[in-house]
Amino acid sequence: MNKFYVTTAIDYVNAAPHIGHAYQKIVADVLARWNKVLGKKVFFLTGTDEHGKKIAESAQKNNKTPKEFVDEISQKFVTSWQALNLDFDRFIRTTDEDHKKTVLEFVKKIEESGDIYKGKYSGWYCVGCERYYTETEMPDKVCPFHKKPLEEVSEDAYFFRLSKYQDFLLGLYEKNPEFILPVERKNEMVNRVKEGLQDLCITRASLDWGIPFPLDKSHVIYVWFDALINYYTAINSDDKKIFWPADVHLLGKDNGWFHAIIWPAMLKSVGIEMPKNVFIHGFLTFNGNKISKSLGNVISPLVLADKYGADPIRYYCLRQIPFGEDGDFSEEALVNRHNSELADTLGNLVNRVIVLTEKNFDGLVPQKGEDDNLSKLALETVEKTRKALDNFQFNVALNDIFYFLGEANKYINDNEIWAIKDKEKLGNMMYNLLEAIRFSSILLYPFIPETSEKITEQLGLEKKFCFDDLKWGLLKTGTKTKRGKVLFQKIKC
């Protein structure tokens, strides 16, 4: 079907959001907007994970009930994503009633498959990750992400027969080479499955902040087992089921195990179709360390959005860091890209062309003449952008688009357009420049939507961004341009 379903990891609400959380959500928003440009029906899901021991402890430290605490922190995530202009279709919370209902149905179906049994769990647990580790994984008994000692846990519990699905998972990866991306993450997951899978503890008896386990009300469902089901909850209605399977789950490399191994095994157990792709990306770091409250290096997306605006932050994150790899956040690099690329290349081009149109043609789009090398480069850029986005290469797409914009600026300078006296020749060149800007507004829309809308306003066009409009020569002669404010003011360091 002509649909696209993109999900992000749902963030744990033990503390307010930081720019590390925002990076993944910006990527999801770009994919959602791009697929809308392509004409698809799109569903973009994000949200918050609100159960577990860490939440209960954080609420207690803040003298709040767990529900009061998660309500407050979850809203901070919503406010932050709105500040970054993220156009999500649903912000799901694991305390939502429809999620609880779906989780209970899911667990009962897994039990009907014979994949749940009661036993005793003894092992090592990280409260920060809400995750169990084996001694083989962590012989030093220290969490690799939070750098804190693991807690030894021993209690009665219910288990999911994850070990049953080892051969299924290896077959899934072999038959669907792009199920896990990028390839180095796939290799990690394959090797871990080949080492052997242990059954998964899916309940806690020592905790009451969670969804009650339907087979034994003295237990609550393990937070990760509950959280993964959110991707199905969001489309578990008659009007949304067309979106399953998910086209891509986006998640950080600390979540790969859950999404690439546990989640497909759960889906297989209940007979639900597999997602098409699980993309495991790197961390956005700060001075070489993962950004997190526990490490004391949090950068608030709200503060950044207020300081620089949403589009420069979106642009920087996608332009600076090859998606999939770790990347270090730097305000200095953000300012440099803002000034040299957004202001000098894009903003300067739009301003020059609109001013020249006003000066020479009373602000009206001149007559279309012969196409030239600029039109050829525009069409090549469209295909390059589509190919790059098909492969999650956001930095490559932006590099191609800004090369095109640079060539448009060069077109002005090399031809000394400001000095041309031949009205017909000048009109032809100005038409090509205006059309180049129109192309750029569509290609840039997924990345910097607010700026693209401003460009279309200055071109006198409606705010409509459609791939079918990326055909040269659609800009109508006589369209009235409307010069606006300069798109990007230089930031003084």
Catalytic residues: 18, 21, 126, 129, 143, 146, 290, 293
Consecutive H or E run containing 41: strand 41-49
In this structure, the strands spanning 278-281 and 220-221 are unpaired
Q: Give CA separation, 92 vs 7, 33, 482, in Å.
A: 11, 19, 40
How far is 415 from 429, CA to CA, in rounded Å?
Answer: 9
How far is 174 from 450, CA to CA, in rounded Å?
Answer: 42
Q: How far is it between the farthest Cα atoms of the chain?
A: 87
How far is 357 from 341, CA to CA, in rounded Å?
Answer: 23
Q: Give CA separation, 159 vs 60, 112, 221, 243, 308, in Å.
A: 29, 14, 11, 30, 48
Locate 334 and state its tokens: 């953000």
Place of tokens 């999801």: 28
Locate 432 and state its tokens: 């090509």
Q: Give CA separation, 21 vs 15, 84, 95, 248, 319, in Å.
A: 11, 12, 20, 17, 17
How far is 18 from 378, CA to CA, in rounded Å?
Answer: 37
63 torsion bin: left (phi>0), alpha (psi -120 to 50), beta (else): left
Q: Is residue 358 a contact partner of residue 458, using CB atoms and an 8 Å limit?
A: no
Looking at residue 453, its amino acid is: E
Q: What is the DSSP secondary-structure string of 158-211?
A: EEE-GGGGHHHHHHHHHH-TTSEESHHHHHHHHHHHHT--PPEE-EESS--SSP
Q: Is residue 124 a contact partner of residue 141, using CB atoms and an 8 Å limit?
A: yes
Consecutive H or E run containing 131: strand 131-133
Q: Which residues are bridge partners to 154 per DSSP? A: 122
